[in-house]
Amino acid sequence: MHPQTPLPASSLRRALSCVLLLFLLSLPLPLKSQTTAPTIPFTMQIQWDVFKRHFIDSGRVIDTVNQNITHSEGQGYGMLLATYFQDPAAFESIWNWTQKNLQVRESDRLFAWSWGIPSSETETKAEPKVLDPNNASDGDILIAWALYRASRMWGNPAWTEAAHAIIKDLRQHMIVVGFDGRLILLPGQVGFVEKNSVITNPSYWVFPALQEFASQPVDSEVWQRLINDGIKWLNDWQFGKFNLPPDWVEIGKPITLPERYEPVFGYNAIRIPLYLQWAGLQNQTPALNQALRASWTQFTEANLPSKIHLKTHEGHDPALPGIRAIYELSLNTGRERDPDQWIVDPADGYYSAALLLLVRIVHQQSLVP
């Protein structure tokens, strides 16, 4: 017998690698966890870092183009974004600041909607404070939704309990029955119920958040009914030659545009198609989809405004990038095929930056369940 010639070291490594590969391929594949976090594109992560650096200070989300005030809505967006970007440190910081400075109403667990230095005192060394103790229901809804998501992601039952308390008070104070039996979401506890009508803000129906509330064990039927009635209302709220929903609407007999607010499809109402798409409900409002396309065609991409007057039909204010991105996403203009063109620019302000990040999240369709 002749002795075997030993294999070169490189050949031996390749042989062992093949054996290991065959062994691994023979193993059963693990079941995909329902709590698996989404893979976040690197370009999105960079933009979240930009958002934090320019708009969040010690847990306070700052509206840099509006006297540096803070809204409950902004805190809700910040908390929600932190859950998507798997950033528990940012989430806790924003939530802790929100609890300490905005959850100060004595009668409920809802949030004062505005905090900062009064405009009359901006030139002095005045201390910032709550500017209006009234709540804004969209901010309350966003915060509660973010708490539910964070509790699932990071296993903190205290956040679930905090969310339960918020939606309990929303249910008690913020939902009323309209003249035809449909539910109406009040924008705030004070100032929106008239003698024969109710004023509401259509963009405060944050549909994906309401879906979350409808999945909870308490009052689930009420939240589902609010979703269903919100869709019905949206199909009725058509104004101007484009048949667009307004920022504010007065529900009475008849349904009108309230005199106290500018009659526009603008900075508020632009969020409606975003929330519908996020919730997978965009096909239930075909008139709105047609209205968006009609206005996009009328003004053209280059001249798209941030708001459209619903009586004169004129456009005002060049569209913020965040507003333009919602159009592009909702209408499948083709630009959404390259989501990296939705870039956060600090010069455009907090609101546009938040909308851009939300558009990218909806585009990804990969929120943690």
Closest CA to 270 of 230, 329, 311: 329
Give the rounded distance of the alpha carbon of 171 from its chain centre.
20
Single-letter residue type at 121: E
Catalytic residue among 63, 73, 87, 328: 73
Size of the chain in residues: 369
Q: Are strands 56-57 and 112-116 parallel, antiparallel or unpaired?
A: unpaired
Secondary structure of residue 318 in the 3-state scheme: strand
Query: Which residues does 348 contact at the CB level (< 8 Å), separation at least 6?
Result: 320, 321, 322
Catalytic residue among 138, 247, 250, 328: 138
92 is catalytic: no
Pair of tokens at residue 114: 């505005």
Secondary structure of residue 60 in the 3-state scheme: strand
Secondary structure of residue 290 in the 3-state scheme: helix
Contact 318, 25 (CB under 8 A): no
What residue ranges in 75-164 does DSSP mark as E strands?
112-116, 129-135
Rounded CA separation 68/23 (Å) = 59
Q: Read off φ and ψ for residue 176, nearest 5 degrees.
A: -130, 165
Helix (H) or strand (E) holding 316: strand 315-318
Rounded CA separation 49/38 (Å) = 17
338 is catalytic: no
- Count of C-beta atoms within a 10 Å radius of residue 211: 17
What is the DSSP code (8-state) at residue 284?
G
Catalytic residues: 73, 138
